[in-house]
Amino acid sequence: MYKHGAFAEIMATKDFIPSKDVGTLPVYFGTLPIHQKMNYEGLVNKPILISSFKEAQTKVGYSDHWEDFTLCEAIYAHFKNNIKPIGPIILINVLDPKVHLLKARSATVKTETVTLTNGIGFIPTYKGILKTVAIDSKVLGEDFKVEYTPDGERIQLTDLKNGLGASVEVTFNEVAPATVTQAEVIGGTSSEGHKTGISVLDLVYQNHNMIPTLLCSPKWSKVPAVDTALKAASQKINGHWYAFVNSDIESSTSNTIDKAKTAKGETGYTSSYEAPCWPKAKNGEGKVFHLSTLATVTMQWVDYENDNVPHETPSNKPIDIIGLVLEDGTTIEYDQIQANELNSKGIRTATYWGGRWVLWGGHTGEYEYGKDMDKRNIFDCSVRMLQYIANTFQSRYGIFIDKPMNRAKVDTILNDMQEWLDALMAQGKILHGLVGFEETSNSTSDMIEGDFVFDVETTTTPPGKSLTAKICYTSKGLNVLLGGEQ
């Protein structure tokens, strides 16, 4: 439209609400039993936000068959543990019932005869694709309905018109989780721009306005290629955000402490922004967990207890288990001395200490006792605090992008950032924090281009990894026997 003159329009209110401090948001990659849902189209390669066990059942389904549906382990670990249920979490599912299904010569794979009592019967399958259930000459949704039982073990069939009789033959297809490949978990971006697998991480922020800070892929992270992809994805998410990876060293061939230590180096679980875990663990109900999952849960609730500041390691924090197991479920037992052997090589494990089972080991994958390395990368909490400060700076001051950068704006950022750092120091969450706007970091040519640099220096608070009392015997106390003073 051609305009000439001065104009004005009354627009909707756009108050600026400052971003909250960056919280801890775990993102999990794997498979979900979405075949339990009649409509699962929007549940494949999408970031799904889950805040409770009930919500998970409603949105994505649930199954205790964790080997098939790996993300159910995360759902249970976060929302059904006996230490501290905690969320929210993001689930990224790569299982597609239209792709990963059992194939046979006939159009349908399974046929079952279902006995009905008072119009209700059950199909004995936990893999049946709900929308494929069919009865000859009957219409799904009109003559009968189907839904999974809450435990995900069976499909309940209900006769809606009392027209099915005492028994009925049903056909259905089944999902095949075993056909999911590591390449599908790793994923990528198609020529049309569709993201799959780990690449879906890029959609978390724009879909949920939340910053992903922890990455985990139970079952899959023990595959070196998947671990590598997780680590690559964790840095500069959307060109901005940093996340930490909890991974697993496989415990099938690496079924001893010495083999685990060797495998860690040979398979490349040596990054400063990951914590490799070994072996697996079981709870009182016999459920077997990857330690990477338990570490992620523990990190989230420890951060929550600390106002969402990740300055404290999850090491020596309780986890809801009764022992450690290998990949095949075989129990493996060792004491804290042997657990420390793993820690000395930068491997997180668990141990029985203080009358409870706890995570044990606060190092990053880069750590190895005696190794010459950047001191900032020794502990997981130090790396995560640096990531937290970086994420917070970007989240907090992104509102100033493309605004005039005058001296008042520089001072606003300096004062606000320093006040925030001072608060962290006062709470003991960092030992030192200082922000500056230095001439050496801001050349004239850079400022002309609109590029401005704020220098932040910080000393993270190291964990007390060991406390030693040196106890000496002295004969001084014997003077008391002779009536003297000590």
Task: Tell me the CA distances in angstroms from 443 to 405, 435, 436, 450, 454, one per residue in order.
Answer: 14, 18, 15, 11, 12
Cα–Cα distance, 134 to 144 (Å, whole number): 9
Task: Give the pLDDT confidence of 284-306 residue by residue, as tens digits.
Answer: 999 999 999 999 999 999 999 99
**Of the given ranges (214-228, 247-261, 262-276, 467-481), which has the lowest mean pLDDT?**
467-481
User: Where residue 20 falls among pLDDT bands split at 50, 70, 90?
Assistant: very low
- pLDDT of 78 reads 97
pLDDT at 10 over 90: no
Q: Which CATH number fits domain 110-174: 2.40.10, 1.10.1660, 3.40.50, 3.30.70?
A: 2.40.10
User: Where residue 61 falls among pLDDT bands split at 50, 70, 90?
Assistant: very high
Q: In the chain, what percentage of residues exceed pLDDT 70?
A: 94
Average pLDDT for 75-104: 93
- pLDDT of 195 reads 97
pLDDT at 13 over 50: no
pLDDT at 15 over 70: no
pLDDT at 241 over 90: yes
**SS3 labels along the chain:** CCCCCCCCCCCCCCCCCCCCCCCCCEEEEECCCHHHCCCCHHHCCCEEEECCHHHHHHHCCCCCCCCCCCHHHHHHHHHCCCCCCCCCEEEEECCCCCCCECCCCCCCCEEEEEECECCEEEECCCCECHHHCECCCCCECCCEEEEECCCCCCEEEEECCCCCCCEEEEEECEECHHHCCHHHHHCEECCCCCEEHHHHHHHHHHHHCCCCCEEECCCCCCCHHHHHHHHHHHCCECCCECCEEEEECCCCCCCCHHHHHHHHHHCCCCCCCEEEECCEEECCCCCEEEHHHHHHHHHHHHHHHCCCCCCCCCCCCECCCCEEECCCCCEECCCHHHHHHHHCCCCEEEEEECCEEEEECCECCCCCCCCCCCHHHCEHHHHHHHHHHHHHHHHHHHHHCCCCCCHHHHHHHHHHHHHHHHHHHHCCCEEEEEEECCHHHCCHHHHHCCCCCCEEEEEECCCCCCCCCCCCCCCHHHHHHHCCCC
- pLDDT of 106 reads 54
pTM above 0.85, yes or no: yes
For the chain, which residues make up each domain, given as ranges?
Answer: 26-96+186-380, 110-174, 418-486
Task: Give the pLDDT confidence of 80-94 residue by residue, as tens digits.
Answer: 999 999 999 999 999
pLDDT at 7 over 60: no
**247 - beta bridge partners?**
276
Q: Which of 40, 6, 24, 67 is nearest to 392 (CA)?
A: 24
pLDDT at 370 over 90: yes
Q: Which of 451, 457, 454, 399 is nearest to 425 (CA)?
A: 457
Mean pLDDT of the chain: 93
Task: Give the pLDDT confidence of 160-205 residue by residue, as tens digits.
Answer: 999 999 999 999 999 999 999 999 999 999 989 999 999 999 999 9
User: Where residue 486 falls among pLDDT bands split at 50, 70, 90?
Assistant: low
- pLDDT of 77 reads 98
